[in-house]
Structure 1
Amino acid sequence: MHKLLRQGLVLQLLALLFGVLILPVQARVISDLYEVVEAVPSRGATDRAAAGSRGLERVFVRVTGDASIGNNPNLKSLLPKAQQLVQGYRYTSEDNQLYLHLSFDPQAISRQVHQLGLPMWPNNRPGTLIWLAVDTLKEGRSILREEDAPELFSVLEAMAIERGVPLDFPVMDLNDQRNMPLGSLWAQDESAAERAALRYSPDATLMGRLLQASGRRWKADWLLIHGGRSYAFDSSGGSMEEVALRGVNQMANLLAQRYAVRPEGQDAEQGAVIVELSGVSSFADYAEASAYLRGLAQVSSADLLSVEGDRMRLALVTSVGLRNLRDALALNHKLRANSDGDAIDLNGYRAPLGSADNPLRYRWD
């Protein structure tokens, strides 16, 4: 896996490994969803066009969250026209291999996603902390560290770039080894994952145990913990790298299913949700909070209803379900869910969550 595709995440990992403080593994805005690198045999127009088609398909995988989007017949007809969506390109060479760097126009891609009726996964995405353990025929069980399996971690970084998901790994120093011992990791102990995650504050935690069943047969069990829910799944393949890649790919699929905005008419209801924010103590806070809510891909409009002291109420018009909206709001760590202010109870009737009598309540920190 060549260095160009890995550079960004490798730098992040180096900063994590050598920094004095451990940085939180939180949601991040992915800025390079629309940039790809393709190996090409020449600088000719034909090879550039072919690389553009391949690159455009990769971009659509990232922005829709659908790994099989290339099979969509509508997208297939668009791929030969990829050069119409290219914003810029350049060539580089490494180890006698020529590479074409392509930048696609985000607004043009967004228009095509809308016109084709495809889901759109916003670029604010949950950061995931990955813990890995392995059981080999020769050496038995151990926790996987980057220095012990550099090729494995390299391909995982490359997969993270391909799917547009922020991935991080624990530093595995004495603190991590104490908080997440091998036995707890192999048992996929959720309480241990919660304790170990306090150091990193990730949006999601993925625990994987990779088992070598025979010389060329591997299988893995995975547990994704995110937003108060757990998702168990498995993968299999001919190598440790293959089962790990499939695990991260499935993790990306699950996150995309949770956060991708579906076109109107696909399990979506257009409606207003009342949100109350406290801690809005200045005009700067008001402007920042309003801009954030209006900028959410899940929100088509955010109308101010009232301001009382440090509290503001807004009506968010959204085409996604309430759960999906709350998931999206949870990715902003300046928003803290606030249970202050009980719902009005009228003769045993509890107002629906997100209504005027029972708004979604958050504190803006």
Structure 2
Amino acid sequence: MSFVEAYNMLKAVCRYLMMFPLLFCFSAISAEVYNLDESLVPVDSRAKNLRSQAIKQGLKEVILKNTGTQSALTHPDVVKQLANASAMMTQYGYQDLDGKLFIKVSFDHKRLISLLRQAGLPVWGKQRPLTLVWLVEEIEGERKILNDASTSVTRTSFDTQSSNRGVPLLFPLMDLDDSMQIGINDIRGQFTDNVANASLRYQANYFIMATISPQGEVFSYKMSLYPRELSAGSSQYNPSTSQSGESASVEQAVVDITAAASEYYVSQYAIADSGEKLTTKITFTDVSKMKQLVEIEKYLNQLSAIKTVAVASIEGMTVEFNLGLFGNEEDLHRLMKLDPRIESIGNTSSNNIEYASFGSENNANKPTQIYYWKGQ
């Protein structure tokens, strides 16, 4: 990548971060999502009744960001809590943004996660896939590929849904390099090889190929979500999820596209409590400094797949951890694979493993996955 390309991509990311301060922190592949316990809700005035409605709406948005699935809002435990949303609030304040009044509401994150766990709902941690969106939109009969610098309604709608859902999104620069590799027909015709190759420079985990076009009084949309790389043993790209339909507006079409991606990610990376006492061991090698050990332990403690973390042994520069899990080992390792700070250097299988409590013979003899901590 040339200096100019790197500079342009950096500007694109900075523009995005300025729109949603402290929401996403991008690293090479994947993103950490912050402010998962906060919501910014528009209000017409500072009236008490409107404030109460906004606090309830804010809690809905926070629950949606932490579970990733719309169905969570209909769970009886969640419905009950929504009726008393202010009880979970920690603070609120009014903000005037571009002449519009908003109320910023913060909620107790630990109580929120406890609510979701008790309800048996999936919890989506802050480490999330980064998704590159290749979208052909049709405006007044003209088809264009949506680029990062676009000021269209479609682009603004994606920014809003990315924030509401906690789904980190990137858009292509459509500079000379992109234009030479990708055309409108590549996206509309689902020529995945071309789009996958063009996507590599953006270091995203997944890419979406989508279209939105007017069909009379409605808008027709199609979307397919693909992984960054071919799956093992596969000779062609297969969509992780696809969806098509008609929406009343461009904004609703964007909601539907983003929701489809979010629901897939929840199925892969959000972890519900299995109710079982599942445990495992993992090992980190080349841990030469206490700072590294502290960083690794802090990282493990924030993963949504992990219930408890304890150092089992330290031998030279190798550290073994005992982990209590909400889900299974496959959930854990799939989640850890997202983080660019970690490299897997072992290929142990979790198939046919009998889970047991720490200290049992089965658990003690179970092979462990080995990782290397690359750090920041």
- TM value normalised by structure 1: 0.81
Q: CA shift at 1:196, angstroms?
A: 2.3
Structure 2: how far apart are the matches of 1:308 and 1:11?
43
Q: Given that residues 336 and 362 in structure 1 are in contact (C-alpha distance below 8 angstroms), is that contact kept between their aligned partners in structure 2?
A: yes
Does residue 234 of structure 2 align to residue 235 of structure 1? Answer: no
- Out of 355, 358, 369, the position equivalent to 1:360 is 369
Q: Pick from 332, 335, 338: which aligns with 1:331? A: 338
Instruction: Give the aligned residue type for 2:269.
Output: Y
Q: Does 1:130 align with 2:144?
A: no
Aligned to 2:166: 164
Deviations 1:67-119 (A, max 9, x none): 13222232222212111222111123456643222111212222322333332
After the TM superposition, which residues 1-365 of structure 1 pair with which residues of structure 2 at under 5 Å, given as runs?
11-13=14-16, 26-93=29-96, 97-134=100-137, 138-139=141-142, 141-148=143-150, 150-214=152-216, 216-225=218-227, 228=231, 230-236=239-245, 237-265=247-275, 269-339=276-346, 356=365, 358-365=367-374
TM (norm. structure 2) is: 0.78
| Distance verdict in 2 for CA 1:25–1:136, change over 3 Å | farther
After superposition, the Cα gap between the structure-2 partners of 1:322 and 1:180, relative to the gap in structure 1 and judged at 3 Å, is farther
Q: Distance in 2 between matches of 1:134 and 1:249?
A: 18
Would the alpha carbon gap of residues 149 and 238 (structure 1) be closer, same or farther in structure 2, given more than 3 Å must change? Answer: farther
Q: C-alpha distance in 2, partners of 1:343/1:222?
A: 32
Of residues 329-338 and 311-320 in structure 1, the stretch that sits farther from structure 2 once superposed is: 311-320
Counting aligned pairs with the same residue, the percent is 23
Rounded to whole Å, the distance in 1 between the matches of 2:99 and 2:155 is 25
Instruction: Report if aligned partners of 1:299, 1:319 keep a CA contact under 8 Å in 2.
Output: yes
Please state how far the C-alpha of 1:160 moved relative to its aligned partner: 0.6
Change (3 A) 1:88 1:256: same
Q: Can you list the C-alpha shifts for 1:222-243, whole angstroms capped at 9, x where unaligned?
A: 2232684731312322444432
Shift of the 143–343 alpha-carbon distance from structure 1 to 2, 3 Å rule, reads closer
Match for 1:245: what amino acid?
Answer: V
Question: 1:322, 1:230 → 2: CA distance?
Answer: 24
In the superposition, relative to structure 1, how do residues 306 and 38 fare at CA in structure 2: closer, same or farther (>3 Å)? Answer: closer
Distance 1:96 1:302 in 2: 47
Which whole-Å CA distance do the structure 2 matches of 1:294 and 1:94 have between them? 36
Kept in 1, the 8 Å contact 2:305–2:325? The answer is yes
Q: Which runs of 5+ in 1 are unaligned?
A: 1-8, 17-22, 345-349
Which residue is equivalent to 1:3? none
Which one is further off, 145-154 or 158-167? 145-154
CA pair 187-232 structure 1, distance change in 2 beyond 3 A: farther
CA–CA separation in structure 2 for the residues paired with 1:133 and 1:148? 12
> Residues 286-327 of structure 1, C-alpha deviation per residue, up to 9 Å, x if partnerless?
232233223322112333344444333333221212221112
Q: Is the 8 A contact 1:211 1:220 kept in 2?
A: no
Q: Residues 96-144 of structure 1, C-alpha deviation per residue, up to 9 Å, x if partnerless?
A: 64322211121222232233333221122222111112467833x5422
Unmatched runs of 5 consecutive residues or more in structure 2: 1-11, 20-25, 232-237, 356-362
After superposition, the Cα gap between the structure-2 partners of 1:294 and 1:69, relative to the gap in structure 1 and judged at 3 Å, is closer
